[in-house]
Chain A
Amino acid sequence: QKEVEQNSGPLSVPEGAIASLNCTYSDRGSQSFFWYRQYSGKSPELIMFIYSNGDKEDGRFTAQLNKASQYVSLLIRDSQPSDSATYLCAVNRGSTLGRLYFGRGTQLTVWP
């Protein structure tokens, strides 16, 4: 079982819609969860992180965490074509200080 799993996509949504990106993780002791955006040919860019159960909002982005289900998601409201990228979910297990375990990423396309 992989440490972090994401649907590879591609996920395609129209402009203005809500894009929902999902991630599951295997280590129940994982402590914090990060979402990165990666444009083609570029390096990962941190969007936001979450470590408490529930929702955390930052502008058009909302991260949701459910530790009981070992599930974390990222919602992008009012999606724009500029949001088209690969979204990487990363997990900090806590037991391995600093090390982030990344999923393979979900490719999102927002069409006008």
Chain B
Amino acid sequence: EAGVAQSPRYKIIEKRQSVAFWCNPISGHATLYWYQQILGQGPKLLIQFQNNGVVDDSQLPKDRFSAERLKGVDSTLKIQPAKLEDSAVYLCASSSRWGTQADEQYFGPGTRLTVT
């Protein structure tokens, strides 16, 4: 079974530029998550989708971050404009048991973003 796919793996941009990340979850997983992991910290949830609907985006900085999951499969996370503090690894995860105690989330390889 193929895992969660993400691209690109690395991205370097200047502040105020825009960037987009792509994620393809494990086949059949209805729930998709985007996490931000700053160096030395644990991942922090930005947004989660159940199929193509947003379940939780309470920690998404909506003035600069946006995300969509058209057709309930692939997802794109965008930052516009980027700030220095957005430098982090952006992790996509997916799960098939949302709403249960056994909601195992599987992570993709992540995209390492550096904003200069």
Is residue B43 contacting chain A, with contact meaning CB distance below 8 A? yes
Q: In chain A between 86 and 112, which residues have their CB closer than 8 angstroms to a CB of chain B?
A: 88, 90, 92, 94, 96-100, 102-105
Task: Provide the bound-state CA to CA distance between A111 and B56, in Å.
Answer: 42
Flag whether A34 is at the interface (Cβ < 8 A): yes
The 6 A-B pairs of least Cβ separation, nearest first, read A102-B42, A51-B101, A32-B101, A43-B107, A43-B110, A99-B45
Chain B residues contacting A92 (CB-CB under 8 Å) are 101, 103
Give the residues in chain B near A98, CB-CB below 8 Å.
Answer: 31, 33, 48, 50, 55-56, 95, 98-99, 103, 105
Q: What are the residues of chain B within 8 A of A34 when measuring CB–CB?
A: 104-105
CA–CA, A92 and B50, complex, Å: 16
Quick check: A49 and B99 within 8 Å, CB to CB? no
Contact with B along A26-50 (1 / 0, CB 8 A): 0000011010100000111110010
**Quick one: which of A3-58 are within 8 Å of B by CB?**
4, 31-32, 34, 36, 42-46, 49, 51
Q: Are B40 and A104 in contact (CB under 8 A)?
A: yes
Q: B105 is contacted by which of A94, A100, A105 (Cβ under 8 Å)?
A: A100
Q: How many residues of B contact A (CB 8 A)?
A: 27
A36 contact set on B, CB distance < 8 A: 107
Contacts of B109 in A (CB 8 A): 42-43
- A: which residues have CB within 8 A of B? 4, 31-32, 34, 36, 42-46, 49, 51, 88, 90, 92, 94, 96-100, 102-105
A residues in contact with B101, CB < 8 Å: 31-32, 51, 92, 94
Is A99 a contact of B106 with CB atoms below 8 Å?
Answer: no
Say how far B8's CB is from chain A's closest CB, in angstroms.
Answer: 14
What are 5 A-B pairs at a CB distance below 8 A?
A31-B101, A46-B104, A98-B48, A99-B56, A102-B42
Instruction: Identify which of residues 62-116 in chain B touch chain A, using a CB-to-CB cut-off of 8 Å.
Output: 89, 91, 95, 98-99, 101-110
> In the complex the two chains form, is A49's CB within 8 Å of B104's CB?
yes
A90 to B43, CA, bound (A): 9
- Beta-carbon nearest neighbor of B31 in chain A: A98
Chain B neighbourhood of A97, CB < 8 A: 55-56, 98-99
* Shortest distance from the beta carbon of A54 to any chain B beta carbon, whole Å: 14
